[in-house]
Amino acid sequence: MNSKTLLKKSVSSSEEKVAKPKKKVKNVFTYMDSTYQLNGPKSLLYKSIKENRRVKVWTRSHTYVRSICTGYLVAFDQYWNLAMTDVDEIYRIPISQNERNSQNQKETDVSNLEEFKNIEKNLNLYKTGRFNLFERHVNQLFIRGDNIVTVSLAD
């Protein structure tokens, strides 16, 4: 084989590569654009992303509503997995019976009571009957669809 035939083969192979049509890129965003624009409950989620509106999401634990997250929705999928930014979360942790009894004993001491009040102010802690409520701000949050109870617009 001479150099002319090698040159012809390399030119013809480059022409073949140009002639092939490019595949469309498939990711979460293109899937959302193609699927959820028209109707259904997920179309509201799609509109909230496009209009940059805040969304309120209730999440669950095994027996109670665990938290309420309010933030901007960035992405979601068919399983209701949500990616959110700038999230304010109010969540609760149950108090066990032993902790309730120990808190009642400690509150009788005045010095301990003042310490607890200072700690509560720093943690944004609110005490209710069976639960302690906490607040926190999270920059980015991923919520798995299995844990979602309700989604609504925060307006």
In which element (H, E) is residue 28 found? helix 28-35
Tokens 């293109």, residue located: 30
Give pLDDT, residue 13. 53
Which of helix, strand or coil describes residue 30?
Answer: helix
Interval 35-50: pLDDT, tens: 666 677 888 888 899 8
CA dist., res. 90 & res. 99, Å (int): 21
What residues contact 39, with CB distance under 8 A and at least 6 apart?
Answer: none
Measure the CA–CA gap between 82 and 142, rounded to whole angstroms. 6
pTM: 0.63
pLDDT tens-digit map of 56-109: 999 998 888 899 999 999 999 889 999 999 999 998 888 775 565 565 544 444
Q: How far is CA 130 from the centre of its chain?
A: 27
